[in-house]
Amino acid sequence: MPAPPALGAKAYILQDFHSGKVIVEHNADDRIEPASITKIMTAYVVFDEIQSGRLSLHDKATISVKAWRNPGVQGWTQSSRMFAEVNSKVAVSDLLRGLIIQSGNDAAIALAEHIAGSEQAFVQLMNDAATRLELKNTHYLNVTGWPMEGHYTSAHDIASLSRALIREFPEYYQLYSEKRFTYNNISQANRNAMLWKDESVDGIKTGHTEAAGYCLAASAERNGMRLISVVMGAPGSDARVKYSQSLLNYGFRFYETHHLFDGGVSLKEVRVWKGDENYLNLGVLEDLYITIPRGQYNFLKSILNIRKVIDAPVKKGDEVGQIEILLNDQPVREEPLVALNSIERGNFFQQLADQIVYLFR
């Protein structure tokens, strides 16, 4: 196995989408300024509002003076924007493309104000989502990524957020692959140059400030395997593309991901004692994937370690053992083995009968 690429960036990570396996990392948990990569979370919250039915793509938001000036009086003319006119009403569908394709700060603020009433109220939704997704090195103070002390994230958290966005909102994630968007007679290209350089790349987001350097979160899919790379603090726009391509090529060339078990499908039926039913189905709640060095699949095996005695009551999702995955007889992953159905405690006679059977066994 060749050594992973060593990159001249502040932090970076390469992670498999399905298995969550971290293939390459450097300073991945360091708290760093995210610049416009912040807008991945801005979009995540908007997608969640749409999916929950609280927001429609056809809704129209009014462009406030604050959104139009984005994000402040000093230097606002240099910030990225979709060029929405003040006091105009813009459809959420257009604002999303302005946010994702054009990296518009005006679009980000307009969406935040429309959904939550103010940018700061929307920021609370972003931080709530970060807590729910267990992004432990992330804290937001604005929706654009404008530099502020105390506004930070990590390469690892960005990768985790990207996985959640792709997994939970696949129909909206497609927006990240659109190469150009025209609004107000102004056409702007997607800032993710990798969309033109690698046909397997379909997202995600660039960022740049003087303090953060050049940043890029990218995702690519080849032959059913999806990888997410995050590069933070590269020295230039060309460097962030080169570094990201290097990480993705390394992962696809030397690793492979396999689907091992279906979520919700029984892997083992076991005896349950003192319940209103006798047998419990065990498995995993979600599909289980493994990422391993290429060519090693035939050396994989799994072991089910199940609790010796399982007494009712048992609720669906209760952990009753572990699935241990071994590669060349060495453990590489362990996942909870859980109950796939619930069994209530039996009546007096059922419990008594089981107690007698168990004593004889």
CATH code for position 336: 2.60.410.10
Query: What are 83-92's pLDDT values in tens digits?
Result: 999 999 999 9
Domain annotation covers residue 1: no
Catalytic residue ranges: 36, 39, 103
CATH code for position 47: 3.40.710.10
Confidence of residue 78 (pLDDT cuts 50, 70, 90): low
Which spans in the chain are helix H? 39-51, 65-69, 92-100, 105-116, 119-132, 155-168, 170-173, 194-197, 237-254, 348-360
Structure token digits, residue 68: 């139009």
On whether both 129 and 153 belong to a single domain, the answer is: yes
Which among 250, 314, 259 has a CA at the least distance from the CA of 286?
Answer: 259
Domain annotation covers residue 4: no
| Residue located via tokens 């032959």 | 223
Say if residue 70's pLDDT is above 60.
yes
On whether both 139 and 181 belong to a single domain, the answer is: yes
| Residue located via tokens 């590489």 | 332
The reply to whether omega before 313 is within 30° of 0 (cis) is yes
pLDDT score recorded for residue 356: 81
Q: Which of 101-110, 280-289, 345-354 has the lowest mean pLDDT?
A: 345-354
On whether both 306 and 207 belong to a single domain, the answer is: no
Three-state SS for 109?
helix
Distance separating alpha carbons of residues 37 and 35, to the nearest angstrom:
6
pLDDT score recorded for residue 71: 59
Q: Which pTM was predicted?
A: 0.92
Average pLDDT over every residue of 267-289: 95
pLDDT score recorded for residue 339: 97
Residue 260 exposed, middle or buried by CB count within 10 Å (0-12, 13-18, 19+):
middle
Structure token digits, residue 187: 């056409």
The reply to whether omega before 71 is within 30° of 0 (cis) is yes
On whether both 237 and 271 belong to a single domain, the answer is: no
Task: Say if CB 251 and CB 227 are below 8 A apart.
Answer: yes
Say if residue 76's pLDDT is above 50.
no
Query: What are 243-264's pLDDT values in tens digits?
Result: 999 999 999 999 999 999 999 9
On whether both 56 and 198 belong to a single domain, the answer is: yes
Confidence of residue 75 (pLDDT cuts 50, 70, 90): very low
Let me know the angle formed at the C-alpha of 251 by 245 and 257, rounded to the nearest 5 degrees.
Answer: 140
Domain annotation covers residue 3: no
Q: What are phi and psi of 177, to 5 degrees?
A: -95, -5
If one counts the domains in the chain, the total is: 2
Average pLDDT over every residue of 33-57: 97
Query: What are 176-208's pLDDT values in tens digits?
Result: 999 999 999 999 999 999 999 999 999 999 999
In DSSP terms, which residues pair with 227 in a beta bridge? 16, 220
Average pLDDT over every residue of 98-121: 97
Q: Which domain holds residue 142?
A: 11-255
Return the DSSP state at 207.
E
Query: What are 296-338's pLDDT values in tens digits?
Result: 999 999 999 999 999 999 999 999 999 999 999 999 999 999 9
- β-strands 89-91, 60-62 pairing: antiparallel
Query: What are 349-359's pLDDT values in tens digits?
Result: 777 887 787 77
On whether both 246 and 322 belong to a single domain, the answer is: no
Distance separating alpha carbons of residues 263 and 345, to the nearest angstrom:
26
Domain annotation covers residue 291: yes
